[in-house]
Structure 1
Amino acid sequence: MAHPSLDSWLSYIESQHPAEIELGLDRGLAVLQRLDLSRPKHKVITVAGTNGKGSTCTLISSYLVRQGYRVGTYTSPHFLRFNERVALDSQPCSDSLLMEAFAVVEQARGDIPLTYFEFSTLAGLWVFSQQSLDYWVLEVGLGGRLDSVNMIDADVAVITSIALDHMDWLGDSIEVIGREKAGICRPGKPLVNGMYQGPASIAQVAAEQDAIYSEKGVDFRTEVTASGMEFRGFGQHLVGLPLPKLPQENVATVIAALIQAEVKIDHGILSQTLTETTLTGRFQQVANDPVIYLDVAHNPEAAGTLVQQLQGLGRQPIAICGMLKDKDIASVMALLENSFASWHLLDLDVPRGSKADHLKQYLPAALTHQYSSMAEALAVASDEARKEQRAIVVFGSFITVTEYLSLN
């Protein structure tokens, strides 16, 4: 079936399966076998975790591209354009190539129903297989073991963090969620655990799968010194590394993943990668009058990181916040309640979106204001920010950040 535009294709694939999410590999693997895709020349690096996946994928891909390699990067979700999910050498894929990929997957699937994410993942993998790439860097969408990205065997598996999120799908304890995410590892291949003292289930799965296991704090680490950052691990000692623009806690994991992928570490290229690589919505400054930051923090672990980042601003900022109702709103608000001078709460007009009135119950009433649109919230918050010389932080969901970006 031909479609005249990428938007038409996206509308079509959204309608092909009754469930937005249905974990499992059987459907995707059946279509993948029909596609008969080739692998990259060197390695597939697959990244799972509750937080930090996007930053880790971006830093790994950015370093590899700077080294002169050809790299395909698959991430999700996107902000403004679907093309953001499928990148070639750190640049979004063209509409025409994605449309061709969707047509190939549509023909190959026959009568096999695919979810939006399964269809998208297969299309992204097909694009990569056509490009004679050196590396694929794949971000897991949800969980690990049963996520569509796990259709492809990883040469290096990476876990960035484990926290209580998506519990309806992944389980209600850190140990259970850790086991699900560790399901991306393969026998005889490296599994890099990017957590200090993470759940024991990750090492257990690695042992069961006979994977080559390494753990932050045991096999590798970074620390901040007077001369910058220092990395130790796998027989390597790197000193004088600059602090990154992206979250610092991911740097050790990125370097470890590159080493385990048998990539040579060049101090100069790594330093350039750390100082120049940015990612939308990761405490990203996007405006100066007033100063505005965007952050996709939407669970307690990410909220804790945001608290630390806000301390560097000096004067308490102003919040524009919208969240999904299936997130741990109470814990996020409890962590951030004392970090903002005022709260401008936003209705998210999507099926899982929370209303501002629901968010308000977790905060001091005197500090809250409610809005039905980002435009209205931003206008009022901006006036307040200019008068009081404060910054604005837009956060709470990828959707909240997207609503800001769509206005600008």
Structure 2
Amino acid sequence: MFTSHSLDNWLQYIESVHPQTIDMGLARTKQVQEKLNLKPQCPVITVSGTNGKGSVCAYLTAIYHEAGFKVGTLTSPHLIRFNERIAINAEPVTDELIIQAFEAIEQARGDIPLTYFEFNTLAAVWVFAQQQTDVMVLEVGLGGRLDAVNVFDTDCAIITSVDIDHQDYLGTDLETIGFEKAGIFRSNKPAIFGQQPLLNSVNKHAHDIDAQLLCYDTDFSIRTMDNQWDFLFKDKARHALPIPTMRGTYQIQNASCALAAIECLYEQLPVTIGAIKRGLIKASNTGRFQILPGRPMVILDVGHNPHAARALVKSLNLLPFASKKIAVFSMLADKDIDEVIEICKGAFDEWFIAPLNVPRAVAIDVLHQKLNTHGIKQIQIFENIETAYQHALSCAQESDRITVFGSFHTVAEILTQHTLK
């Protein structure tokens, strides 16, 4: 059996256990879960969706923590350290706790091959169980129905949004993708759907298994005013809520999904209006339309699909005027690069591009050609994202704006440098 006192060694090891990075299916994870007797003894909230998952998890974590509960949160991917994926009360847990979890999983799995994410999921729930959390917030990695998180029964399921992404695994149309995400629903449990219109596949699956479907703009809604908003849920209302600190035009809608779940679980986890207001202000999600302090304005956004690109452009258009708008940009080869470029091409005056240092990165000549194909001519190519970013800073005036986007990896390269300084 593998053993090490180094988390880095463990992470290298779990990457080698399964020959594939992604291998959809629940059987392997379920077997190891049962061997570990890993059954949450507290309420579980499962969050899926094309975009918005991380933000909804952040709101749930902050609000429940402000209400006095101990909150275990699983998210992915991480930006700088693996520990970000497994947090208690929004603080990443220690290397030692994660290693203990990996050791327990390694002993239990025998010759069952687990993927990196399956190890990650089991380790998170193992840590939360050991630390006796009051609630677990589990973010789905990919899809829902066949994602490792789905071996754990949820007390409230959330689908934040459905759009085209991960077509190789989830399908090429919204109805098929919606069905995959609705796989996290459970009979007689709340199932929250956070966008309009409601997809037929989601509605049918909820009906077929008798899930309690609650839809945005039908069963819960928002009413926005200057500097505040109201949340309406069935016959209840939460008035005069603060605008979330997390930026982006979509954040109030994300927050409403979190509040709908909180209302559904109110009897088990009562929350005051004060905790809600404090949580909305304190919730943070690094790299999601994150504005760095200082001038020129620098925005970091991990958006990497058309749905996220549309949200990014909408949020950029609401910002104050910028004399020159610079994109620091790169993506993974398996993403819909053409559609993202088409959506964003009018939002920037210059594009600074560079290759990402990961196997799935798009080749820089391919990325350059795609930008040209979409009519973009003001392009500069750099050795890496950090060099592109530093050049953008050196040539930008105070009234200019720099947006770093296209992938978690693109943003991570900049955040890593800021953390090291």
Indicate whether the TM-score tops 0.5: yes
**Alignment partners' CA distance in 2, 1:198 and 1:391:** 37
**1:313 Cα deviation after fit:** 3.4
Assess if the C-alpha contact under 8 Å between 1:347 and 1:354 holds in 2. yes
Unaligned runs of 5+ in 1: none
How many residue pairs get aligned? The number is 406
Contact 1:72–1:128 at 8 Å: present in 2 too?
Answer: yes
- Give yes or no for the alignment of 1:5 onto 2:16: no
Q: Which residue of 1 aligns with 2:223?
A: 223
Q: Distance in 2 between matches of 1:56 and 1:40?
A: 22
Taking the aligned partners of 1:30 and 1:172, their CA distance within structure 2 comes to 31
Find the residue that maps to 2:224 and give its secondary structure: strand
Aligned-partner Cα distance in 1 for 2:30–2:39: 14
Deviation at 1:268, TM superposition (A): 2.2
Letter in 2 for 1:329: I
Distance 1:365-1:184 versus aligned 2 partners, 3 A rule: closer
What is the match of residue 334 of structure 2? 326
Q: What is the rounded CA distance, in whole Å, between the counterparts of 2:276 and 2:190 in structure 1? A: 21
Report Cα offsets for 1:96-132 as digits up to 9, x if no partner. Answer: 0000100000000001111111111111111111111
Distance in 1 between residues matched to 2:279 and 2:230, nearest whole Å: 15
Instruction: Tell me if structure 2 keeps the 8 A contact 1:230–1:238.
Output: yes
Q: Distance in 2 between matches of 1:340 and 1:317?
A: 5
Aligned letter for 1:307?
V
Contact 2:78/2:84 (<8 A) preserved: yes
Cα distance between partner residues in 1 of 2:134 and 2:312: 35
CA distance in structure 2 between the partners assigned to 1:239 and 1:298 by the alignment: 34
Q: 5 Å matches for 1:168-207?
A: 168-207=168-207
User: How many Å apart are 1:148 and its aligned residue?
Assistant: 0.2
Residue 381 (structure 1) aligned with residue 392 (structure 2): yes
Distance in 2, matches of 1:227 and 1:250, equals: 17
CA distance in 1, matches of 2:38, 2:335: 37
- Give the counterpart letter for 2:363 in structure 1: K
Q: Distance in 2 between matches of 1:145 and 1:255?
A: 24
Unaligned ranges ≥5, structure 2: none
Preserved contact between residue 162 and residue 198 of structure 1 (Cα < 8 Å):
no
The residue type equivalent to 2:360 in the other structure is: R
Q: Rate the CA distance shift 1:4–1:255 in 2: closer, same or farther, 3 A.
A: same
- One-letter amino acid of the structure 1 residue matched with residue 5 of structure 2: P
Q: Which amino acid aligns with 1:233?
A: F
Paired letter, 2:257: T
Judge which range, 130-139 or 265-274, deviates more: 265-274
Q: Is the 8 A contact 2:40 2:129 kept in 1?
A: yes
Secondary structure of the residue aligned to 1:224 is: strand
The residue type equivalent to 1:229 in the other structure is W
* 1:253 maps to amino acid: C
Partner residue, 2:77: 77
Q: How far 1:227 moved relative to its partner?
A: 5.9
Q: Deviations over 1:203-261 (max 9, x none)?
A: 11111111111100110101212462111112211221111123222021111011112
SS of the residue 1:78 aligns to: coil
User: Superposition pairs for residues 43-54 of structure 1, below 5 Å?
Assistant: 43-54=43-54
- Can you list the C-alpha shifts for 1:298-342, whole angstroms capped at 9, x where unaligned? 111111110111111321521101101111111111111011121
The answer to whether the 8 Å contact 2:345/2:376 transfers is: no
Residue 394 (1) aligns with residue 404 (2): yes
Q: In structure 1, how many angstroms separate the alpha carbons of the residues matched to 2:271 and 2:70?
A: 17
Post-superposition offset of 1:275: 2.0
For residues 91-106 of structure 1, the aligned pairs below 5 Å read 91-106=91-106
TM-score (norm 1): 0.97
C-alpha RMSD over aligned residues: 1.3
Distance 1:189 1:302 in 2: 29
* Alignment TM-score, normalising by the size of structure 2: 0.94
Picking from 344, 347, 358, the partner of 2:355 is 347
Q: Kindly provide the CA deviation profile for residues 33-58 of structure 1, in whole angstroms up to 9, marking residues without a partner as x.
A: 000124133x1000000000000011
Counterpart AA for 1:52: G
**1:353 alignment partner, SS class:** coil
Q: Deviation above 6 Å: which 4+ runs of structure 1?
A: none
**Per-residue displacement from partner, 1:332-353 (whole Å, max 9, x unpaired)?**
1111101112111121121110
| 1:162-217 residue CA offsets vs partner (Å, 9 max, x unmatched) | 00000000011100000000000111111011111132111111111111111001
What does residue 261 of structure 2 align with? Answer: 257
Q: 1:50·1:161 contact (CA, 8 Å) conserved in 2?
A: yes
Give the Cα separation in 1 of the matches to 2:237 and 2:263. 12
| 2:316 matched residue in structure 1 | 310
Residue 367 (str. 1) matches residue 378 (str. 2)? yes
Distance in structure 1 (CA, Å) of the matches to 2:320 and 2:309: 16
Q: Counterparts of 2:9 and 2:210 in 1: how far apart (Å)? A: 45
Q: Give the structure 1 partner of residue 292 of structure 2.
A: 286
